[in-house]
């Protein structure tokens, strides 16, 4: 890991007072790196440009935001999944606000995360938890696109994971295919699943979808002692809700 302030301090100290100055400068620079959470030259450039440093608990939500926007549009399921991750982590209100801000920064796709990911490589448990959360976000809209997979493989590599190992996590969260059929024949079934009618207003349809998704999402079963069968059923139900909402939105044009 390259600590930019440490390098700068050592160089400046050596120029002023040779080896003793270099040692002192390196110590002062390292303290600055730790205080400002600087792990790369890119991060130093961002700080000099006035951009706030990412906290450890914000890195995950930057990744989730980038995944959500990777195919050009953030779906309702992505937003709901971000809320679920906040609940899972039991974030305080200030931490929730930081997470929301980080999620939005991630959607912009301009954050440099290499240094953060290389540092997390030294924390295997945290790295695995982050990759699992990313796969949950990928499947939040019921499908895993090429760009999403490529991002996860790249991040996994930076975390020290092989491509095969990263891909293997996908099966833990991949939902079953629903039994709704295609959009042409599945529209009545989709309406019935969401509990709405043909003339229900779009805002009410969205509200019904969110309510059902919150009620049936498998992540609500984590730590509740639910059986694998119950988790699998909840996963299938959530996948059907995603598909039903997609069908209704396409048919109604909102």
Assess if residue 96 is contained within a domain: yes
In the prediction, which pLDDT does 133 show?
92
pTM of the model as a whole = 0.56
Domain shared by 130 and 166, yes or no:
yes
> Does the pLDDT of residue 16 top 70, yes or no?
yes
User: Residue 80: inside a domain, yes or no?
Assistant: yes
Rounded to whole angstroms, how far apart are CA atoms 148 and 104? 17
Backbone dihedral angles phi then psi of residue 231, each to the nearest 5 degrees: -65, -40
Does the residue 67 lie in any domain?
yes
DSSP letter for 220, please: G
As a whole number, mean pLDDT of residues 117-146 equals 87
Q: Is 33 a member of any domain?
A: yes
The per-residue pLDDT for range 171-185, each reduced to its tens digit, is 777 764 444 444 444
Out of 139, 170, 201, pick the residue that ends a domain: 170
Domain that holds residue 113: 56-170
Residue 10: the pLDDT is 61
Instruction: Let me know whether 240 and 163 are in one domain.
Output: no
- Are residues 195 and 235 located together in one domain of the fold? yes
Q: Is the pLDDT confidence value at 37 over 70?
A: no
Alpha helices in 178-223 (DSSP H): 183-194, 202-216
What pLDDT, in 10s, does the model give residues 200-231? Answer: 888 898 998 888 888 877 776 666 666 666 77
Last residue of a domain, one of 123, 144, 170: 170
Same domain for 125 and 80: yes
**Structural domain contains residue 16:** yes
Q: Is 156 exposed, middle or buried (0-12, 13-18, 19+ CB in 10 A)?
A: buried
Q: How confident is the model at residue 28 (pLDDT cuts 50, 70, 90)?
A: low
The band of 21, judged by pLDDT with boundaries at 50, 70 and 90, is low
CATH number at residue 199: 1.10.287
Q: Are both 154 and 214 inside the same structural domain?
A: no
Domain boundary among the residues 118, 149, 170 is at: 170
**At residue 67, does pLDDT exceed 90?**
yes
Tell me whether residue 240 is in a domain.
Answer: yes
pLDDT band at 12 (very low <50, low <70, confident <90, very high): low
> Is the distance from CB of 242 to CB of 188 less than 8 angstroms?
no
Mean pLDDT of 79-105: 90
Structural domain count, the chain: 3
One domain, residues 8 and 88: no
For residues 98 and 161, membership in a common domain is answered with: yes
**78 & 157 share domain:** yes
The verdict on 160 and 61 lying in the same domain is yes
Supply the pLDDT for residue 43.
54
Domain shared by 96 and 25, yes or no:
no
Residues 76 and 166 in one domain: yes
Taking residues 97-119, report their average pLDDT. 86
In a domain, 175, yes or no: no
């Amino acid at each position: 890991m390259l600590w930019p302030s440490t390098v700068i301090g050592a160089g400046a100290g050596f120029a002023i007072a040779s080896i003793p100055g270099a040692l002192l400068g390196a110590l002062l620079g390292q303290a600055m790196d730790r205080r400002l959470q600087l792990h790369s030259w890119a991060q130093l450039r961002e700080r000099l440009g006035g951009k706030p440093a990412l906290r450890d608990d914000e890195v995950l939500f930057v990744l989730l935001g980038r995944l959500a926007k990777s195919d050009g549009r953030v779906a309702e399921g992505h937003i709901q999944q971000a809320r679920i991750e906040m609940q899972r982590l039991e974030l305080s209100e200030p931490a929730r606000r930081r997470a929301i801000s980080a999620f939005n920064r991630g959607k912009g796709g301009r954050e440099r995360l290499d240094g953060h990911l290389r540092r997390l490589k030294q924390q295997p448990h945290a790295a695995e938890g982050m990759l699992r959360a990313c796969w949950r976000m990928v499947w939040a809209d019921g499908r895993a696109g090429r760009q999403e997979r490529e991002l996860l493989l790249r991040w996994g590599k930076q975390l020290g994971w092989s491509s095969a190992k990263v891909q293997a996590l996908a099966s833990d969260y991949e939902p079953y295919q629903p039994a709704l059929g295609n959009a042409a024949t599945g529209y009545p079934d989709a309406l019935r699943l969401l509990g709405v009618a043909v003339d229900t207003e779009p805002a009410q349809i969205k509200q019904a979808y969110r309510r059902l998704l919150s009620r049936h999402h498998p992540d609500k079963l984590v730590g509740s002692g639910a059986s694998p069968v119950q988790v699998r059923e909840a996963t299938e139900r959530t996948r059907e809700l995603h598909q039903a909402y997609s069908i209704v939105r396409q048919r109604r044009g909102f």
